[in-house]
Amino acid sequence: MPTPLEALHETFGFSQFRGRQQDVIDRVMAGCNTLAVMPTGAGKSLTYQIPALCREGTGLVISPLIALMHDQVRSAEAAGIRAAALTSADDNRFETMDRLRAGQLDLLYVAPERVSTEGFRRLIDQTPLALIAIDEAHCVSEWGHDFRPDYRLLRGLLEERPEVPRLALTATADHHTREDILAQLGIEPDGLILAGFDRENLRYGITTRDGVAKQLMALLDDNPGSGIVYAPTRDATEKLAAQLGAGGRPTRAYHAGLDPQIRAANQRAFVASEDMVMVATVAFGMGIDKPDVRFVAHAGLPKSIEAYYQETGRAGRDGEPAVTQLFWGADDFARARRRIETDVEEGRRPGERQRLNAMAMLVEAPGCRRAILLRHFGETPPPACGNCDNCLNPPTGIDGTVVAQKLLSA
């Protein structure tokens, strides 16, 4: 069996581990349980794929979406890993089971609901397992933003196989969610590894809204490359797109209410362009790989720090400097509070309230924005980043907060 470094070089063709991949892999190799919290694109898959190749037995991977599983199987196979998925959508189930029993699979992907079935448990009972990886592990927590009851069913398997190292993986987990994942999956608190959230090339800016179309025009003037403007509603995207487009910059709108063909054409035009502005709802961005987005602006408050991080994170994927700017108003908070109290199911309200409060702390902070973001994701940041509005232009005013300044100037 190869060592992790050999597998990295020979199977994946990468020269070195990134971020804390090696720390995670070392723990799994040593048989320890781990929760790895790392942002999207950090390379979480490698942290279970490599131990699956380097330890005795098959790596079992729990993954919530069948479509994702098939992508993962395809890319693992392309690297020469013996991988398969066991889902109701696969008509080669019997072949997969035979390969598993014969020890011919490095990786087996399954959905959480299948794990709890008697048939699967009987099958897996006889199988040596290299590890149990639980991808998108925030789904196990009601505190998280995407709770899936099926994830609770994993506990039976984990209890039956205490000797198999567990590796839970997620990109989005605030403090509460992390604690909950550790408890739910029986991972010791010292098994938490989180890192890699800093996006050094992004400049963070946050100000109050004051004629947002004019504010956005000024932002566009300073930033000639392509950019995304997130607007809170479908109507707002179309209105803002018209206003910004009137200035001569190529501008399109994107929201779920548009005709699918128009939507797809707008997205293609944006991806191909070097100076287009896409005014969109948050429906835009997932799965779009455009490395040279030079700015991301928010015309209204994102619903959580996780959402803000993810949406701003679409800027500057090429590593070149990029700008993010959030415009917010007190009415955003009033509206969000009303929504929580009226539209959100009671059990989920505490989590939503906390997410909103975290946003309030971020937008009103007089200190380094990046420090707040990184602390939110559990990292220990330096006190000042030198690349956010508050570091570059420390706020003046009696206690420094934007709200206080606004009150004083009113």
Residue closer to Mg ion by CB (options 133, 229) is 133
Q: Is residue 69 within the footprint of ligand ADP (CB under 6 A)?
A: no
Q: Enumerate residues 8-27 that contact ligand ADP by CB under 6 A.
A: 14, 17-18, 21
CB of 45 to Mg ion, least distance (A): 5
Q: Which of 36-44, 107-115, 138-146, 320-328 is the region at the interface with ligand ADP (rule: CB under 6 A)?
A: 36-44
Binding site partner of 204, from Mg ion, ligand ADP, none, Cβ cut-off 5-8 A by kind = none
> Whose structure tokens read 């996006």?
199
Residue closer to Mg ion by CB (options 47, 325) is 47
Residue 65 to residues 89, 117, 217, 306, Cα–Cα distance (Å): 11, 18, 40, 21
Binding site partner of 14, from Mg ion, ligand ADP, none, Cβ cut-off 5-8 A by kind = ligand ADP
CB of 370 to ligand ADP, least distance (A): 20
Instruction: Look up residue 150 and give its DSSP letter.
Output: G
Residue 389: its H or E element: helix 389-392
Q: Which residue is nearest to ligand ADP (CB)?
A: 43
Question: CA 328 to CA 67: how far, in whole Å?
Answer: 36
Among 10, 30, 31, 41, binds ligand ADP (CB under 6 A): 41
Residue 109 to residues 29, 77, 271, Cα–Cα distance (Å): 20, 13, 32
Q: Which of 24-32, 44-52, 114-122, 336-344 is the region at the interface with Mg ion (rule: CB under 5 A)?
A: 44-52
Q: Which of 219, 242, 240, 217 is closest to 230 using CA atoms?
A: 240
Instruction: Look up residue 30 and give its DSSP letter.
Output: T
Q: Which residue is nearest to Mg ion (CB)?
A: 44
Residue closer to ligand ADP by CB (options 36, 322) is 36
Question: CA 52 to CA 239: how far, in whole Å?
Answer: 51
Among 20, 44, 255, 314, binds ligand ADP (CB under 6 A): 44
CB of 334 to ligand ADP, least distance (A): 35
Residue closer to ligand ADP by CB (options 136, 332) is 136
Number of amino acids touching ligand ADP (CB under 6 A): 12
Q: Give 51-98 as a 3 state SS string.
A: HHHHCCCEEEEECCCHHHHHHHHHHHHHCCCCEEEECCCCCCHHHHHH
Question: CA 310 to CA 65: how far, in whole Å?
Answer: 20
Among 46, 76, 157, 305, binds ligand ADP (CB under 6 A): 46
Residues in CB range of 184: below 8 A, 6 or more apart:
140, 141, 151, 152, 155
Question: CA 206 to CA 330: how far, in whole Å?
Answer: 13
Residue closer to ligand ADP by CB (options 50, 100) is 50
Among 40, 88, 104, 117, binds ligand ADP (CB under 6 A): 40
Q: Which of 153, 105, 94, 152 is closest to 127 using CA atoms?
A: 105
Binding site partner of 46, from ligand ADP, Mg ion, none, Cβ cut-off 5-8 A by kind = ligand ADP
Binding site partner of 40, from ligand ADP, Mg ion, none, Cβ cut-off 5-8 A by kind = ligand ADP
Q: Which of 40-48, 233-241, 246-254, 389-397 is the region at the interface with Mg ion (rule: CB under 5 A)?
A: 40-48
What are the φ/ψ torsions at residue 284 (nearest 5 degrees)?
Answer: -95, 135
Residue closer to Mg ion by CB (options 134, 299) is 134
**And the tokens for 159?**
């209890």
Among 9, 45, 121, 400, binds ligand ADP (CB under 6 A): 45
Residue closer to ligand ADP by CB (options 69, 229) is 69
Among 25, 27, 35, 43, binds ligand ADP (CB under 6 A): 43
Q: Which of 34-42, 263-271, 284-292, 354-362 is the region at the interface with ligand ADP (rule: CB under 6 A)?
A: 34-42
Residue 34: its H or E element: strand 34-37
Between the CA atoms of 24, 26, 32 and 36, what dihedral angle is there, to the nearest 10 degrees?
A: 0
3-state secondary structure of 151: helix
CB of 250 to ligand ADP, least distance (A): 30
Residues that bind ligand ADP (CB under 6 A): 14, 17-18, 21, 38, 40-46
